[in-house]
Amino acid sequence: MSTGKPATTPNYRDLEDDEFRERIEDLRGRYADCDLCAYDCRVDRTAGEHGTCQVDDTAYVSTYFPHFGEEEPLKGHNGSGTIFLANCNMKCVFCQNFETSHEAEGDPATAEEIAEMALELEARGCHNVNFVSPTHHSPHLVEAVKIARDRGLGVPIVWNCGGYERVEILERLEGVVDIYMPDVKWGDDAAAAKYSKAPGYWSNVTDSLREMHRQVGDLAVDDTGLATEGLLVRHLVMPNHVESAKRVLEFLAEEISRETFVDVMAQYRPYYKAAEEEFYAEIDRPITETEYREVVDHAREVGLENLYLDRSMLKRGGSFGLF
């Protein structure tokens, strides 16, 4: 993690108008034969057809506000300006936001309206605009960034996704997104298929991580500690899946960068179907301190240098912080 640098201009401020418009047109066209995520459903969302994300070409926003629960480099003193998109391109049976991600609670929003939300969040002092579950509505969001940019938006764009992306689409986001924040859920394809309904997850997420890092590099923060650009990876440690977590950490250290900022999360609880169906009994409990410590110890063993950890699980006092 690069520290102490002066604030930089967000990438999208330098993207030429013609290039921005071409990106928007290209992405918009993909709604008609949808390949925006790794499911590659190929449905015509412009005609009202639904793929895995269960939504047509209308973007829905469930809520937006300054979020103080994100990592320190994102939330700072004034919060991360989160815009939660309804629906999701993954179907995690343990989703804590299932009302939004699975049951589509949200209001329709045009690119213009999303741009207004972004500008409002910046005006309220938020340090960035943080698109949550953005993948299936990337056309709207890229257009919203351009509209907001043209009206003066000047804070970083955070792409807060599940990692089940397509490299071809990520390439269209280069120069638009400043901070990629994938929640890398699994290092095990069988578990990904069972619990997140995401076939071929591991090959997709590893290719996506390589592309994200190629575009923005390791996480950089300014002299106030706020993130300005780079890759921030989250991994939620799951019960009975320590080996999956280890594989994720090994990949990051060996294939991406030992300086990757990794939030090793311990807050798993069995929400939604994980708490209701016997088929998912393996994940029907919180993780143990032993599981968490084993994962953290492995992260250190493989040489990861920027770990954001849950101190309460390590009996170190406080809540969260870099170790």
Backbone angles phi, psi at 287, to 5 degrees: -75, 160
Cβ(131)–Cβ(145) below 8 Å = no
The structure tokens 């406080």 sit at 318
From its phi and psi, is residue 244 left (phi > 0), alpha (psi between -120 and 50) or beta?
Answer: alpha
Local confidence band at 49 (pLDDT 50, 70, 90 cut-offs)? very high
CB atoms within 10 A of CB 91: 18
The structure tokens 């994962």 sit at 295
Which of these, 309, 163, 308, 131, lies nearest to 248 by C-alpha position?
163
CB atoms within 10 A of CB 198: 27
| pLDDT for the residue numbered 95 | 84
Q: What is 105-142 written as a DSSP string? A: --EE--HHHHHHHHHHHHHTT-S-EEEES-GGGHHHHH
pTM (2 d.p.): 0.94
Query: How many Å apart are CA 169 and CA 187, to the nearest integer?
Result: 22
The structure tokens 């992306």 sit at 165
Say whether 253 sits in a helix, a strand or coil.
Answer: helix
Provide the residue ranges of all domains of the chain, joining segments of one domain with +. Answer: 11-310
Tokens of 52: 């895995």
Local confidence band at 317 (pLDDT 50, 70, 90 cut-offs)? very low
Q: Which residue has the higher pLDDT, 99 or 201?
A: 201
Which string of b and e fits 109-145 if b means at least 16 CB within 10 Å?
A: bebebbbbbbbebbeeebbbbbbbbbbbbbbbbbbbb
| pLDDT for the residue numbered 8 | 78
Q: Averaged over 294-323, what is the pLDDT?
A: 82
Binding site members for [4Fe-4S] cluster: 88, 92, 95
The structure tokens 């895995």 sit at 52
Tokens of 136: 């299936």
Tens of pLDDT, residue by residue over 152-192, are: 999 999 999 999 999 999 999 999 999 999 999 999 999 99
Q: Averaged over 297-308, what is the pLDDT?
A: 97
Cβ(174)–Cβ(213) below 8 Å = no
* Four-CA torsion 66, 72, 73, 78, nearest 10 degrees: 30
Q: Helix crossing, 138-150 with 111-123: angle to 10°?
A: 50
pLDDT at 318 over 90: no
CB atoms within 10 A of CB 167: 14
| pLDDT for the residue numbered 276 | 81
Query: How many Å apart are CA 238 and CA 210, to the nearest integer?
Result: 24
Binding site members: 88, 92, 95
Q: Averaged over 83-104, what is the pLDDT?
A: 79
Backbone angles phi, psi at 83, to 5 degrees: -120, 110
DSSP 278: G
Mean pLDDT, the chain, whole residue set: 93
Backbone angles phi, psi at 306, to 5 degrees: -120, 80
